[in-house]
Structure formats: structure tokens, C-alpha cells
Structure 1
Amino acid sequence: MKMFSYLVLAVLFILSCKDNNLKKNIEIISVPTYSMLVPKVKQLTKEEYEDWYHKDIIKDTIPGISLNKAYTFLIDKSIRDTIIVAILDSPIDNNHEDLKQQIWINKNEIPNNGIDDDDNGYIDDIQGWNFTGSSKGEQVLFSNYEFTRILRKYDSLFNNTTLDNSISSKDSSSFQLYSKANKKFNKQIKLAIEDTIYGNMLYKSHSNAKNTLKTYFPNHNYTISSLDSLKLLYPKDTLLQRDILRMSNFIKYDFTEKYITNYKLLAEENINKLLNLSYNDRTILGDNSENLLDHNYGNNIVNQKINFFEHSTIVSGVIGAKRNNNIGIDGVANVKIMPVCISVYGDEHDKDIALAIKYAVDNGAKVINMSFGKLFSLNKKWVDDAFKYAEKNNVLIVSSAGNNHFDLNKVENEYYPNDNINNGSEISSNFMMIGASSDEVNENLITDFSNYGNIDVDVFAPGDNIKTTLPENSYTIERGTSISTAIVSGIAALVWSYYPDLSAAEMKNVLMQSGNSYNINVEIKQEDGTKKTVPFSELSKSGKIVNAYNALLIAEQISNNKK
């Protein structure tokens, strides 16, 4: 049995400020120091999996965020503010049993009167705004990849061009972007064709198996046990034996009919829309995505196509599912969730990201959760300016690091949105990027999908085997840096609800510096598929996994020092 050192060292907390002359003194804040703990080596039980990330590494030997311990610490304390968390994501199930009481209501707007009562530029935005819906109530389902948009914009200018004297210095950066996008486009087309073939194969195999088995299962109520029994009855029926095996595998790997149908659809639409230079989703909206000044588009329907779009409901449950209601799950914090829809299948538009951030800030959000990402950015400055606007208004932005297992320290692996240019200086002090950790305290502490890098990634948070909400009062187990991001947003909201006098920059530093340090080596998956072993502490700026309890301890001391 391996031993590991678990160190939560004295925190050097630096209050950041752009003006060096205004920097505060360093505060030394003591938190407990632990060492030589035995990690949990047995498989987690079903009960432990329900909320493993709420656990404490010391008490439970599970690398969670000490959320239960945090709430014990808060028993005798009073909530001072209700925090609004803006979810920049897909449409949401705002009637979900575990979310409906948590949805933000715009009290300055009179419902359904066709008037912009609060004069914020958005008519009847009672529960947020949908930047992916049209004024006629239509919903965009698919959007181009950003590299597809780049090719459409520059193809007539640079097609069949090489970098020589024909490219002016003025156009060289655009040409480099075009070339990089073209390389990615060509690679993605090949993968998309393979994916479509696979999707059609899955669909055909499932349909054939279903048709073969309909005599024995007219209600399609298959189980592996009943299929095994049928298999024994007809050992010489090769067609039946084949389709029993197929259906058993579909059940075993949770390939439901809905999953297979959606897989086939998304694979086909990947070619038809996401990679199609002739397809432009903005025609549905009647919007020019290259004109930031025009924001007269979208609608107030934030729950469009919720069975097609599940992501926002998944993320929202982690952050703010109603606590202690004996329904479903307990979110990290009791918050108000502000739905701001900008995500469909494909890449988000920089214009939508920028306007959504401004909308969230202007309407009182304190935390902005952005559980999405893309490999290119056509109008990054718009997003950078939105970060600065949020910073000016003391709003924290929490963003996912991505699930490509990329080393983001490599400039060619840039991931957006981010708060720097070519891994240079940060443009604001209120933006965080989050990687995903697992429930294992060993070489698998970082998940096999998470991006990493101590230039972009600020901190890690649990992002594997997390129970959360699904549309129509359902629940699921999810994984991804989207989940990790939601956990950090939830902790930020929890801390701010008790210590609202912290600035966004202070909150960012609290979350980074109060995390748990794990002095172990982990395996990271490289782009060529091989693995290498590195210290976990080298994979993010902080080298830590967020911890709600420690964050509250530090926040309380900072708050007390301000009195």
C-alpha cells in the first residue's frame, strides 16, 4: 500500500492590484498541515459515489472539497448575501424539481408585456436571455466550429496562397490564423467522416437487433439476464445469437436507443453544419456576428429544446441544486442561477460570449460560470474587454480548461476563452481556468481527459463521477472540466454569501491558495497517446485542488482584517 504526503502549507496570500503602488502587504494565513495519510484504496461504495466530492481528505480519505466540513463550520454563521451565478451555457430546464426554486428572477421586468421595463436592452428577460434563439422563437441547434468561421472569412483572400512576398506584413497574422484553421479543418473532416460511418453502423446494428428480437421482446424490455436465457434456448440460430450479443453489448455499455440516434444525428450534422462553410447559423437569428455594437437579437426563452441540450442543466445542478430538500442532489451552494444561453452544438461566438458577460454583470451576477471552450478565437479582444468589464464591476469568471488532455503551456494548444495572449501576461485579475481531478489519490489523481498547464490552469477541482441533474427531473453521473468549473463557481458563491466584502481578485486568490496540495506524481496522457509521470503540483499555477473549508477560513480572516 502506497503512502503519500498531503501538505496544506501556510498560505502566502497576495492581494493583487494592477497599480504596483497600491499593492497591499502580504498576509500570512495559517491553515492545518497534514502528512503521511493513507489514501483510500478500496472501490468507493454507491453511497460514497453519490457525493464523494463533498468529502474531506483527512476525515474520509477521499480527495473531495471538504464541503460537508465547510457547512459544519458555517452552522453558527449568518448568510449575508444571496449570490447570483450566471450560467453561460445552453438552454436550461428551469422547471426541474431540484432547480426551479433556484432560478434567478428579474424583478425589474414585468412579464410578457413586450416592453423593456428595466431598460437593459432585452425585452421581457424575466429569467435571463437566449442569444441563440430568434425573435420568432426559433432555436439554433448547430453552429460552425470557430476554425470553420475563420476559413469562411479568409478563404477568398488566402486560398491557394503560400507565405511569401504576396502576403503583406499587415495580413501575415491573419494568414497564420487561416493556415492553422485550415490544418485543423482538414484533420477534423477526416475524423468526421469516420465518425459518421461509425454512427451509421451503430444505428443499423441496433435497428437490426431490435427487429430480430421484437418477437421475443415486443416491449423492448431487454436485460442482459433475459438475453442470456434466450441465447441458451436457440444455440443454433446464428442470426439470433449475433443480435443477442449486439443488444447485450449495447446494454452493457449503456448505448441506449436515444444515445445511438443522437450519435448518428450529431455525426452527420458535424459535416452538414459544423464543418460546412456554406452554413451560417446567424441567418436564423438575423444577426451579424462581426458587429459587436448590434445586440438586437435573441429571445427570452431560456428552456428551448432541453432534451436536446442537457449541458446547462447538468452544470447548474452541481452549482446550485436546492440543498436539504430531500430531492435529487445537494448543489455546492444555495444560489440564484441566471441562465444566459450562448452554447449549441459547435463553437460559441465571441460576440455572444462578450455580450453575455456584460448582460450577467449588468444584471447582478457575482460569479459567471463558463463551462465551454474552443481551440480558436476570431474576436478575442471582444472577450478580453468583457473580462475587464467584469473585473471593473468586481465579478469573478470561472472557465473550464477543456477535455483534450492538452498541455496548455504549449502555445499551439491555446484554448479559449483565456485571459492571456500567447501565454503572456494576464489581462485581468478576475478570470480562472479549472482542470479536473478524480476520486483516486494515486497516479490517476488528474483525470485522463483534463487539459493542464501552469500558465493557463489556475487550480483543479473534482470532475469525475459527479452526480447531477438532467432535464425532466432526471439525474445522471457526469465527468469533465465543465463539472470541475461548476464546483469552483459553487465554492466562490458559497464563500461570497458569507463574506461579501471580498473583491473578485481576492476571491480568485483565496480559491487558488486555500486548496489542498498533494505531493504525489501523476500520469498525464500526451497528444500522441503515450503517458508520462509528473508531479501533480506542476500541472496548474496553484498546484492544488480547491477546498471549500480552507477557503472559508481564509475568507473569514481577510474579512476580519478589513473591519
Structure 2
Amino acid sequence: MLNISCEKKQDFISISKQSFSQKKKTNLSVEEKQAWYLKDIVIDTIPGISLRRAKDSLLIDKKGQKVIIAVLDSKIDTNHERLKDYIWKNSKETPNNGIDDDKNSYIDDVNGWNFLGNKKGENTNYTSYEYTRILKKYAHLFKDKEEVDIAPKDSLLFNLYTRAKNTYDKRMKYAKSQLRYANMLLKNRKNLEKGLLKYFPNNNYTKKDLDSLQKIYPNDKELHRYTLIYTNFMQSKYSQKSMELGKLKAQERIDKLLSLSYNERKLIGDDLEDINDTNYGNNIVNDYLDLFVHATEVSSVITSFKLDNIKIMPITVFTNGEVTDKDLALAIRYAVDNGAKVINMSFGKSLSLHEDWVQEAFKYAEKHNVLLMSSAGNEYLNLNEISKNYPTDIGKNGKEVSDNFLLIGGTSQKLTKNLVYYYSNYGNKHVDIFAPGENLYVAFPNNKYEYDSGTSLSSATVAGVAALLYSYYPNLTVSQIKNIIINSGVKYDVDVEIRVGREKKLVPFSSLSKSGSIVNAFNALLMAEKIANQ
């Protein structure tokens, strides 16, 4: 393992155990907090991806080629100040003329495509969970059956159905408990407000007013209880609006996402079981922004790289619920056919009805030299102990079907045992590499910004690095790009804390992914230069 000093800018960055213990920075400035994931471990003592170092030392006077990153996600704020200059424009399509000018079968797809709508411009905001779909499809065969009742030829399907049923029952139980909880909170709030009308007839008061009541009536224990509880309700997460939204989400989860009678494709109008039924969707990729923020967040991580030659292609496949394999497979093909070199899919699910459709799309992307990536997930699970997590390039025989897919875990800015993002999934059989994903300063719709966390942001970070490589080394193959990203990461020789059930334990960071490292743009560019010149 090489150690690097600030003067040796052309050596790979690596961190030994000794140097690791010396490189801890706890008090970050506002600028460092907002851009920590772009920083350098040697120069800044922050475990970012060394993007700024790469741009300042390796990309000066170099001009990259245009690279399109397809973001397969929710609706996106294409007018956000941080995104608008980076949104892909289909130059072959005349806006809103109702004609398929480029003859790609998608009418007026000027900025991308929405697979969750119909030709009338109507869009759905709810899709089923995958386990709900599986129950709908196979209940007529397996409902109330035991394993002894199943013919050997149906055993794999029965196993899928059983796993779906177990997951479904747990989620339905949880949804009902959340609905009861939301109703309880709303009822308690209403009762407390009713009790406080005696003191505030106009129902208008602040925390300071409530504190004053306790001083005015020091012996009124009931009043003290009311004011103490209601003070909690004055927090934003317990506001009337937040609790009503929580109730709505729980109710919609029961009525739609988990409902065995809900027809998720009624509005869209296609046959979900027919991959060749492709005449659906519309070009509306940027509505319902108050409900959907995910794609805006994810895309803003990519645009924070500030590379003018990178464009974002918005493709809507994700809403409340889980992505269908059909939409995902067709979205990948759409992205490839329209020039994307990188496809980011910051979502996942535990079951898949048509994984073959998706994996055929993976192979189609590989054939066209396109790299795909997805987030490992935020359930602090060891994916080694799970049969599969979708989307995946692992086929039914346990081997990779293509060499163009990366699964990304999340890290923090903390050079401590908490280097791994607390909720990140992990596992050296499935997770390829880690990338920053905790407390990233990201865009929210309507020109807003917030800090947020999740492996979705980690995946987007790697998408940006992949685009960087494609831009400056366009002759590299997708397999080379993938392996450069994996093999050029910075290894941290340190034990980190992970959750195992209800327990916590320390394990080597190197044991949590195939690469045992964090993605690094500086190293990746150095390795790409070396390979390109061989």
C-alpha cells in the first residue's frame, strides 16, 4: 500500500493505519460541510472523493467529451438553479408538436421520458410493492397451499410466493400500526388543543406562552401535563401537517401499495406482463415536486461536480411503491438508445418478478458500452446473508450476467469507527465499493437545499466519477471503467462499527465490499491514464 504526501501528486492516494489515525478533522467550516464529499483525504484530511484535487492537478487544460448520465428515478425539478443548465435536451425532437420527430417511438421526449403516465398526460403517483404483485399473480396457484402440495416443477415459484407472502404480512402489519399511531397522535393533539382553549380562546400560543402558564398555575398538575405534551407537538415532525401526511401515507400504503385489488396500471393502460407492450408513458418528468424530491437530490450530487460536459437525462420510473421490472428494463434501453453512457438507479427491492427482463437490458447496455449502478440500500443489512437485492447483475446460476454494473454502499465524513454511514447495507459478495452518502448538501425542489443522507447519494457520487472517466477517456470499455472505479478506490485500514441484528460490532472496513475501499476520482483518473496509454 502506497503512502502519499502533498508533493507527490501523481502517486495514488492511499491511507495506512498509522496515517489514518493522524488525519482526523472534526470542526468543518460551512464550505467544508457542504462540499466535504468532494474533498481529499491528504490535502483536506476529509475522506471525500478527491474531485477538486483531480480537477486542479490532472484536468487542467484538458477538454472532455460530452457524457450523458441517465437518472432513473422519480420526477425531477428540471428548473432548479443547480440542475437547469445540466438537463439533457433531445436535439432531434421538436418540443410539443405531437410528432415523434426522431422516430424513437417516444413522442416529444425533449428532456427524457416518464414511464408512469399515459398519452393523455395523466400520471400515477402510486405503484404496488413487488411482493404485492407476486401475490396478485400467483395467489390462484399457491394460496393456502403447503410445500407438500406443490409439484417439483413449481417449487421455485412457490418459494418466491412464500417469500413474498412473508414480506407482505410484515409490511401490512407495520402499515396498520403506523395508521393507528398517526390517528392516536392526531386525536391527542386535538384533545390537548381543546383543553388549552380555556386559557387561549383564540387557539394561538407559543412555547413561551405555555411555559408562562406553568408559572401562573404552579399547582395545576393537569395543566402542566398538557403543556409539557403539547410542547412536543410544536416540533415540526409533530405538526398538524406532518401528522396528517403520515396518516395519508399509511392509509395509501394499505389502500394501494399493499392492496391486492388495486390496479396500478389502470391509468397507464399497458399490460404489465408484456415487455413488448411499449406504447405508454409521456414526456412529463417534472411535476408533483412537492411529493417527489428524490431525483432532484440525486441529480444535484452529480451536478455538484461542476463539469459542463455532463448532462442529466431524467427518466421517471419511481414513485410511491416499487419500480416494476418492465419499466426498469425499458428505461435502461431508452437511456442506451438515446446516448447515455452512465445509468444511475438509486433504488432497490428484495424481490423481482421478471429479473430476466432487467438482466437482458443490462446485457444490452453492456453491448453499447454503458455502465449502470445502484445503491446498496439503507437497512443496515449484510447483503451476503440475502439471496439477492434488486436490481442485480447476479443471474440464476449465481454468476454475473454482464460486466457493467456496480452496487454502492455509503460512508460518512467521520474518520472514526463511524466511517460507514450508519444505515448503509454492506457485504463483500454484492457491494462493489463505498462512496460518500451521509450529510450531503443537496438540492430540493423549488431552489431549496438541505442536508440529507442515504446510499442513493453514494450511487450518484459514483455515477459522477464514471462520467468523468468516460468524458476524458472515451475509448475505454465499460468493463475497464467499472474495474478502474473498483481498483482505484482508497483503502482505509481501520475497524468500523456495523449493526448485526440489535448488536453492534467492529469489523475491518475492507471486509464490507468487494474492493474494500471508497471511490476516488483522483486515483481513477490516474489509473485511466495509465490504461489508456498501454
Using structure 1 for the length normalisation, give the TM-score: 0.87
Q: What SS is found at the alignment partner of 1:496?
A: helix
Cα pair 1:333 1:490 within 8 Å, conserved:
no
Query: Which residue of the partner structure matches residue 135 of structure 1?
Result: 119
CA distance in 2, matches of 1:84, 1:116: 21
Cα pair 1:369 1:486 within 8 Å, conserved:
yes
Query: Which residue of the partner structure matches residue 132 of structure 2?
Result: 148
CA distance in 1, matches of 2:299, 2:216: 48
Is structure 2 residue 284 aligned with structure 1 residue 301?
Answer: yes
Indicate how the Cα distance of structure 1 residues 503 and 186 shifts in structure 2: closer, same or farther if over 3 A, else same.
Answer: same
Query: Which residue of the partner structure matches residue 426 of structure 1?
Result: 400
CA distance in 1, matches of 2:445, 2:180: 29
CA distance in 2, matches of 1:242, 1:9: 60
State which drifts further: 516-525 or 378-387: 516-525
Is structure 2 residue 252 aligned with structure 1 residue 265?
Answer: no
2:461 to 487, 500, 510: 487
Is structure 2 residue 82 aligned with structure 1 residue 98?
Answer: yes
Give the 5 Å matches for 1:271-310. 271-310=254-293
Give the 5 Å matches for 1:349-498. 349-412=324-387, 414-421=388-395, 424-498=398-472
2:12 to 31, 40, 49: 31
Give the 5 Å matches for 1:159-170. 159-164=143-148, 166-170=149-153
State which drifts further: 70-79 or 311-320: 70-79
CA distance in 1, matches of 2:461, 2:15: 24
Is structure 2 residue 516 aligned with structure 1 residue 543?
Answer: yes
CA distance in 2, matches of 1:359, 1:113: 21
Cα pair 2:411 2:436 within 8 Å, conserved:
yes
Q: For this pair of structures, how many residues does the alignment match?
A: 525
Deviations 1:430-479 (A, max 9, x none): 10000011111222111221111111100000111111011111111111
Q: What SS is found at the alignment partner of 2:180?
A: helix
Question: What's the CA shift for 1:522?
Answer: 1.4
Query: Which residue of the partner structure matches residue 188 of structure 1?
Result: 171
Indicate how the Cα distance of structure 1 residues 338 and 235 shifts in structure 2: closer, same or farther if over 3 A, else same.
Answer: farther
Deviations 1:394-435 (A, max 9, x none): 0110111111111111244x2100110368211111100000
CA distance in 1, matches of 2:341, 2:462: 13
Query: Which residue of the partner structure matches residue 88 of structure 1?
Result: 72
Indicate how the Cα distance of structure 1 residues 77 and 252 shifts in structure 2: closer, same or farther if over 3 A, else same.
Answer: farther
Cα pair 1:423 1:455 within 8 Å, conserved:
no
1:60 to 44, 49, 52: 44
Cα pair 1:463 1:482 within 8 Å, conserved:
yes
Question: What's the CA shift for 1:334?
Answer: 5.5
User: Equivalent pairs: percent with the same residue?
Assistant: 49
Amino acid at match of 2:485: L
Amino acid at match of 1:369: N
State which drifts further: 119-128 or 496-505: 496-505
Question: What's the CA shift for 1:203?
Answer: 3.7
Indicate how the Cα distance of structure 1 residues 333 and 539 shifts in structure 2: closer, same or farther if over 3 A, else same.
Answer: farther
Indicate how the Cα distance of structure 1 residues 30 and 261 shifts in structure 2: closer, same or farther if over 3 A, else same.
Answer: same
Aligned-residue RMSD, C-alpha: 2.6
CA distance in 2, matches of 1:199, 1:552: 51
5+ residue gaps in structure 1? 1-6, 11-28, 324-331
Query: Which residue of the partner structure matches residue 328 of structure 1?
Result: none
1:122 to 103, 106, 130: 106
Query: Which residue of the partner structure matches residue 512 of structure 1?
Result: 486
Using structure 2 for the length normalisation, give the TM-score: 0.92
Question: What's the CA shift for 1:58?
Answer: 1.4
Deviations 1:156-206 (A, max 9, x none): 111111112x42222111111001111111111111111112222344445
Question: What's the CA shift for 1:106?
Answer: 0.6
Question: What's the CA shift for 1:149?
Answer: 0.5
Cα pair 1:89 1:342 within 8 Å, conserved:
yes
CA distance in 1, matches of 2:309, 2:222: 55
Deviations 1:195-247 (A, max 9, x none): 1122223444455667777987989795x667656665565566764554445
5+ residue gaps in structure 2? 5-9
Q: What SS is found at the alignment partner of 1:519?
A: coil
Is structure 2 residue 300 aligned with structure 1 residue 317?
Answer: yes
CA distance in 1, matches of 2:83, 2:213: 43
CA distance in 2, matches of 1:211, 1:393: 65
Amino acid at match of 1:511: I
Question: What's the CA shift for 1:113?
Answer: 1.1
CA distance in 1, matches of 2:436, 2:444: 19
CA distance in 1, matches of 2:511, 2:531: 27
Cα pair 2:196 2:203 within 8 Å, conserved:
no
Indicate how the Cα distance of structure 1 residues 39 and 274 shifts in structure 2: closer, same or farther if over 3 A, else same.
Answer: same
Amino acid at match of 1:370: M
Cα pair 1:371 1:399 within 8 Å, conserved:
yes
